[in-house]
Amino acid sequence: MDVKTGFFYLFALVMLFAAFRVVTARNPVHAVLYLMLTFSQAAGIWLLLKAEFLAIVLVLVYLGAVMVLFLFVVMMLDIHIDTLRQGFWRHFPLALAMGALISLEMAVVLFGGFRAGDAPVVPETVTNAAGQVVQYSNSQELGSILYTEYLYPIEIAAVILLVAMITAIGLTLRERKDTKKIDPSDQVRVRARDRMEVVKLAATQAPVAVAVVAEEPKK
């Protein structure tokens, strides 16, 4: 077994363990962290398959944005674990049936659609029309296609994501009455006499407290 095969088995074992812990972890924060570990191991496997672009996108988009956002949302929400667990055993037969169906479909696709020797190997060098052997870069080819033929769809997708981000900020940015924030414009326009008011009070004599000490009886 060479080094590449050893790394493949290492990434695969860690990914399977992390995926199992995603669905079995009792704490939602731990489940999100295990999901981030799963994505990182999948990115490592894609690097071994020479799919550098997919691996980098998985790390930057999912690990760097989506999963971190999920983690922050889970940490900020007041999630009651006991409430979420109510009715688990009532829906367990349906969930078990759905899981068995998905597992059967995946088994049919994996064992029936992919056989040994059928998977194409991505070469590091290719032969052009003139018969010359040239270097091949998967990331460079994808980048050139994305920013030439698919430039406008990428720009439209970026605008849609920007609108979604602004909408999410607008929906969550609501005025709360229990906050203790101060408007900066009010602080600039403040005057000294508005901060403190001197009130003149009439002088009064405070009552004198007299302490009475009881004498002990003589024996």
pLDDT, one tens digit per residue, over 129-175 is 666 666 667 777 777 888 888 889 888 988 988 888 788 777 766 66
CATH code of the domain in which 35 resides: 1.20.120.1200
* Nearest Cα residue to 39 out of 57, 59, 21, 12: 59
pLDDT of residue 20: 92
Region 117-124 average pLDDT: 50
Rounded CA separation 197/130 (Å): 92
pLDDT of residue 50: 81
CA distances (Å), origin 216, targets 211, 212, 219: 16, 13, 9
At 216, which amino acid appears? E
- Asked whether residue 30 is assigned to any structural domain, the reply reads yes
| pTM metric for this prediction | 0.50
**150: DSSP letter:** T
pLDDT of residue 100: 87
pLDDT digit string, tens, across residues 75-91: 666 566 666 667 777 87
- Asked whether residue 57 is assigned to any structural domain, the reply reads yes
Total count of domains within the chain:
1
Q: Which domain holds residue 69?
A: 1-78
